[in-house]
Amino acid sequence: MMQISTPFMPEKGVIRSIVPMAQDNYLFEFKTDTDRLAACKPGQFVELWVPGVGECPISVCSGRVTESIQLLVRRVGRVTNALFQMSEGDWAGLRGPYGHGFPVERYKGQNLCMVAGGLGIAPIRSLWQYVLDHRQDFGKVILIYGMRHSDEMLFREELKLLLQRGDIHVFLAADDATVCELPPFAMQVGRVTDMIRQAAIDHDFQVAICGPPVMYKYVIEELKAKHVTDQNIWLSLERQMKCGIGKCGHCFIGGRFTCQAGPVFQLADLKFVPELIECDNGGAQ
């Protein structure tokens, strides 16, 4: 009988460069032999494997994926610790791309606001890079990035360049800030919600959000105050993900596998899902 092949086969990704970023975050660039990952869309993810240790889901961080892909990784536990011990020239495994990312085709011709909290900047970066590569296809573009402390800012240099461009409006906010070499208008003390209030967002904006689970509820409230509809709000959700392909059950919420139906969901599509603590819809059911 014809046997089919495993869906769990990673391909080898050789580490081309490692750039230390703020705090415990490194930006890894991997080079692969195939162009399997070139299909990566903003907001999708890959399963990153450190042989002998394990796998974890990591968002595609670059808007242009060719034979090389950038991943921003925070050192938090077993797999990420092991990855941080690796050097340029070593290889790790990569499987993907998986899931539904941000619906860039749908955003075309419209105004777009991107909201990132903390490490949520990783998938949001793939989106802004994509948008700026196809800038003429989009209307007004706003980026709001919040963090706890200004020294946690990731992609500082790239953000400086964005601040100089006239075609994207960037708001940066930290709960707590020390003296910062960014222009004072750009870096403010406050939360992403304060920035949303300041930004010229109205009902005809599409909004893409990624951040810690607790952030979403407040962001959604603020967007509603600006009359942004549930159809135009897109959330990237984190869940434990072992397989990435709708088999292992770890990412199940409501009736769906987050790894396949998400990780990016339209808010309108998330009504009545229990344990969805990211928005108030959780409550009763």
Partner 1 sequence: MMDHCFVLAKDSFAEFFESLSKLGRVYAPVKVSDQSYSFRQVESHEQIAFEALRTILPPKKYFYPTQETILRYNDVQIEEHKPEIDFQILFGVHPCDLAGLGIMDTIFTAGPADSHYLNRRQSSLIVGLSCMPDKHCFCQSMGTDCPESGYDLFLTDIGDDYLLEVRTAAGVKAVDPIMPLLRAAGQDDESRYKAFWSNRAQAFTNGFKPDNLRSVMAMEWDNKIWDEMADRCLSCGNCTPVCPTCYCFDLVDIASLNGTSGERRREWDSCQFVGFAQVAADYNFRPGPVDRLKFWYRHKLHGFDDPFGFQTCVGCGRCTVSCPAGIDDIVSVVQALQATNQAKTKHDAN
Contact indicator for 155, 126 with CB cutoff of 8 Å: no
| Mask for 261-280, x = binds partner 1 (CB under 8 A) | x----------x-xx-x---
Strands 256-257 and 252-253, by their bridges, are antiparallel
Assess 235 for contact with ligand FAD (CB under 6 A): no
Assess 247 for contact with partner 1 (CB under 8 A): yes
Give the footprint of ligand FES on this chain (CB under 6 A): 241-244, 246-251, 257, 259
Amino acid identity, position 197:
R
Tell me the closest approach of the beta carbon of residue 284 to ligand FAD, in angstroms.
Answer: 26
CA-closest candidate to residue 67, choices 121, 13, 119: 13
Contact indicator for 28, 79 with CB cutoff of 8 Å: no
Tell me the closest approach of the beta carbon of residue 240 to partner 1, in angstroms.
Answer: 5
Q: Which is nearer to ligand FES, 98 or 107 (CB)?
A: 98
Q: Which region among 107-115, 139-147, 216-224, 255-263 touches partner 1 (by CB under 8 A)?
A: 255-263
Lookup: tokens for 78: 């077993």
Sole binder of partner 1 in the list 29, 40, 41, 55 (CB under 8 A): 55
Q: Which is nearer to ligand FAD, 45 or 107 (CB)?
A: 45
Assess 84 for contact with partner 1 (CB under 8 A): no
Contact indicator for 159, 174 with CB cutoff of 8 Å: no
Q: Which residues contact 283 (CB under 8 A, 6 or more apart)?
A: none
Distances (CA, A) of 240 to 9, 85, 253, 257: 20, 23, 11, 11
Assess 85 for contact with ligand FAD (CB under 6 A): no
Distance CA 79, CA 87 (A): 15
**Which helix H or strand E contains 254, and what residues bound it?**
none
Sole binder of partner 1 in the list 16, 36, 74, 160 (CB under 8 A): 74
Distance CA 83, CA 90 (A): 10
What separation, in Å, do the N-terminal and C-terminal C-alpha atoms of the chain show?
46
Q: Which region among 69-77, 141-149, 153-161, 196-204 touches ligand FAD (by CB under 6 A)?
A: 69-77
Distance CA 37, CA 65 (A): 7
Tell me the closest approach of the beta carbon of residue 233 to ligand FES, in angstroms.
Answer: 23
Assess 212 for contact with ligand FAD (CB under 6 A): no
Assess 73 for contact with ligand FAD (CB under 6 A): yes
Q: Which is nearer to ligand FES, 213 or 246 (CB)?
A: 246
Q: Which region among 50-58, 141-149, 190-198, 220-228 touches ligand FAD (by CB under 6 A)?
A: 50-58
- Give the interface with ligand FAD as residue ranges (CB under 6 A): 45, 54, 56-59, 72-74, 76-80, 119, 122, 238-241, 263
